[in-house]
Structure 1
Amino acid sequence: MTGIIRTVLGDIPPERLGRTDYHEHLFQSTPLLPGEELDDEAASTTEARALHAAGIDAMVEATPVGLGRDPGGVARVAAATGMHIVLTTGAHREAHYLLGDPLIDDSADTLGRRFTGDLTTAAADPSDAVPAPPGPHGAPVRAGLLKAGIGYWSISAFERRVLAGVGAAHRATGAPVMVHLEHGSAALEVLDVLGGEGVPASAVALAHLDRNPDPGLHAEVCGRGAYVGYDGMARHRTHPDSVLLDCLRGTVERAGADQVLIGGDVARRSRYRAYGGLPGLDYLPLRFLPRVTAEVGADVATAALVANPARWLTWDAAASGAA
Structure 2
Amino acid sequence: MVSFVRTVLGDVPAGELGITDAHDHLFIRSPLLPGLELDDLERAGRALREFRELGGRTVVQWTPYGMGREPEALVALARETGAHVVAATGFHQAGNYSAETLDRVLGSLAELFVTEVTEGIGSTGVRAGLIKVAGSFHVLDAHARTTMRAAAEAHHLTGAPIAVHLELGTAALDVLDLLCGELGVPPGHVILGHLNRSPDSAVHHEAARAGAFLGFDGPSRANHATDWRLPEVLAALADAGYGDRLLLGGDTVVPETPGMPYLLRRLRPRLELALGEKLVEQILTANPARAFALAGSAG
| TM-score normalised over the length of structure 2 | 0.95
Q: Which amino acid aligns with 1:201?
A: P
Q: 1:282 aligns with which of 261, 266, 291?
A: 261
Q: 1:112 aligns with which of 110, 128, 143?
A: 110
Summarize the alignment of residues 212-231 of structure 1 with structure 2, pairs less than 5 Å apart.
212-231=198-217
Paired residues of 2:137 and 2:168 also in contact (CA < 8 A): yes
After superposing on structure 2, the runs of 4+ consecutive aligned residues of structure 1 that deviate more than 3 Å are: 102-105
Which residue is 2:252 aligned to? 266
Q: C-alpha separation between the residues in 2 aligned to 1:193 and 1:103?
A: 24
SS at match of 1:317: coil
Q: Which amino acid aligns with 1:114?
A: L
Q: Which amino acid aligns with 2:288?
A: P
Which residue is 1:127 aligned to? none
Deviation at 1:200, TM superposition (A): 1.2
1:177 maps onto 2:156 in alignment? no
Q: Which amino acid aligns with 1:99?
A: A
Q: C-alpha separation between the residues in 1 aligned to 2:42 and 2:218?
A: 26
Which residue is 1:35 aligned to? 35
SS at match of 2:131: strand
Which residue is 1:166 aligned to? 151
Which residue is 2:59 aligned to? 59
Q: C-alpha separation between the residues in 1 aligned to 2:64 and 2:170?
A: 20
Q: 1:292 aligns with which of 256, 267, 271?
A: 271
Paired residues of 2:251 and 2:259 also in contact (CA < 8 A): no
Q: Which amino acid aligns with 1:17?
A: L
Deviation at 1:316, TM superposition (A): 2.6
Deviation at 1:246, TM superposition (A): 1.5
SS at match of 2:164: strand
1:211 maps onto 2:176 in alignment? no
- The runs of 5 or more residues in structure 2 that have no matched partner are none
Q: C-alpha separation between the residues in 1 aligned to 2:218 and 2:186?
A: 25
Summarize the alignment of residues 304-319 of structure 1 with structure 2, pairs less than 5 Å apart.
304-318=283-297
Summarize the alignment of residues 130-149 of structure 1 with structure 2, pairs less than 5 Å apart.
131-132=123-124, 140-149=125-134
Deviations 1:291-321 (A, max 9, x none): 1111012122111111110001111335x44
Paired residues of 1:211 and 1:232 also in contact (CA < 8 A): no
| TM-score normalised over the length of structure 1 | 0.88
Paired residues of 1:179 and 1:204 also in contact (CA < 8 A): yes
Deviation at 1:105, TM superposition (A): 5.5
SS at match of 1:229: strand
User: Percent identity, aligned pairs only?
Assistant: 38
Q: Which amino acid aligns with 2:10?
A: G
Paired residues of 2:194 and 2:215 also in contact (CA < 8 A): yes
Q: C-alpha separation between the residues in 1 aligned to 2:264 and 2:30?
A: 27
Comparing 153-162 with 29-38, which one deviates more in the overlay? 153-162
Paired residues of 1:105 and 1:158 also in contact (CA < 8 A): no
SS at match of 2:100: coil
Deviation at 1:242, TM superposition (A): 1.9
Deviation at 1:240, TM superposition (A): 5.6
- The runs of 5 or more residues in structure 1 that have no matched partner are 125-130, 133-139, 272-278
Deviation at 1:215, TM superposition (A): 2.5
Indicate how the Cα distance of structure 1 residues 72 and 298 shifts in structure 2: closer, same or farther if over 3 A, else same: same
* C-alpha RMSD of matched pairs (Å): 1.6
Paired residues of 1:222 and 1:255 also in contact (CA < 8 A): no
1:242 maps onto 2:223 in alignment? no
Deviation at 1:236, TM superposition (A): 3.8
Q: Which amino acid aligns with 1:310?
A: A
Comparing 239-248 with 189-198, which one deviates more in the overlay? 239-248
Deviation at 1:155, TM superposition (A): 2.1
